[in-house]
Every structure is written in C-alpha cells, then in structure tokens.
C-alpha cells in the first residue's frame, strides 16, 4: 500500500492509496480541502472549485490512514505500507499503522 502525495489546485488536494497487486490501480482517491481552502470557506476559491460544504479540512496523513483502514475493512490483502517523507515524518500516522498490525517503510526528514 502506498499513500500518494497528490497535487494541490483550487485549494484542494488529492490523496491516493495504491495497492501493488495484479490489478495495480489506485484503490481509493479522496478530495480534501487544503488549509487555504478552509480559510476561504465562504470565499470565491471554494465557490469557483465547486467544493461542497460537507467537505471539510483533513490532513493528508489523516486521509491516508482512513484509506488504509478502509482497504483493510474491504478485505484487501495487507502488505508493507510505503510512505514518502510528507507521510513518514508523521509519528501519529506511523504509530497508527503499527497499531493496525502493518509494517511500513518510510522516508523521514533528518530534522524529525
């Protein structure tokens, strides 16, 4: 399983969970607001992007953890979670993944 960092546009970010198996396709993709999008909740950027009010701010690590949990509940065979530094540097995410009984390989910036 590999959470992907995604691109930010119109105050939104996309987080994907990719599963390395015979199908090799993104398993899940969620749209979320960036912090700038929340600050502009009633502003032109949110309206221009057609962001529903039901979508609220979540950090990318939180979205990634929700996707991993969803994949496990759906019966997708667990594997090693691979994370780049934007996820790997998040100790809460690493602890939660360990708590799920999963192993991970993570890039961690030297200041962490």
pLDDT digits (tens, 9 = 90+) for 76-100: 888 889 999 989 999 999 999 999 9
Residue 70 inside a domain? The answer is yes
Structural domains in the chain (count)? 1
Residue 111 inside a domain? The answer is no
Per-residue pLDDT averaged across 32-50, rounded? 59
> What pLDDT score does 18 carry?
78
Residue 112 inside a domain? The answer is no
Residue 74 inside a domain? The answer is yes
Structure-derived torsion over alpha carbons of residues 94, 73, 20, 88, reported in degrees to the nearest 10: -10
> What pLDDT score does 74 carry?
84
pLDDT digits (tens, 9 = 90+) for 48-74: 777 777 777 788 898 899 889 988 888
The two structure tokens encoding residue 106:
């993570």
DSSP-derived 3-state class of residue 29: strand
Residue 39 inside a domain? The answer is yes
Residue 82 inside a domain? The answer is yes
Residue 90 inside a domain? The answer is yes
CA distances to 11, 13, 26, 37 from 43, in Å: 11, 17, 32, 9
CA distances to 1, 86, 108 from 112, in Å: 23, 11, 7
**In this model, does residue 41 exceed pLDDT 90?**
no
Q: What angle do CA 32, 35, 36 make, to 5 degrees?
A: 105
Question: Whole-model pTM?
Answer: 0.69
Cβ atoms 35, 60 nearer than 8 A: no
* Residue 79 structural domain: 2-106
Classify residue 83 as exposed, middle or buried by CB count within 10 Å of its CB (0-12, 13-18, 19+).
buried
Please tell me which residue, 33 or 63, carries the higher pLDDT value. 63
């Amino acid at each position: 399983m590999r959470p992907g960092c995604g691109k930010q546009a119109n105050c939104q970010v996309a987080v994907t969970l990719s599963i390395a198996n015979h199908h090799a396709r993104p398993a899940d993709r969620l749209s979320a607001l960036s912090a700038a999008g929340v600050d502009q909740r009633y502003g032109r950027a949110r309206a221009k992007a057609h962001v529903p009010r039901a979508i609220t701010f979540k950090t990318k690590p939180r979205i990634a953890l929700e996707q991993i949990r969803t994949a496990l509940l759906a019966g997708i065979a667990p594997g090693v979670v691979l994370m780049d530094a934007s996820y790997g540097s998040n100790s809460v995410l690493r602890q939660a993944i360990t708590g799920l009984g999963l192993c991970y390989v993570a890039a961690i910036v030297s200041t962490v």
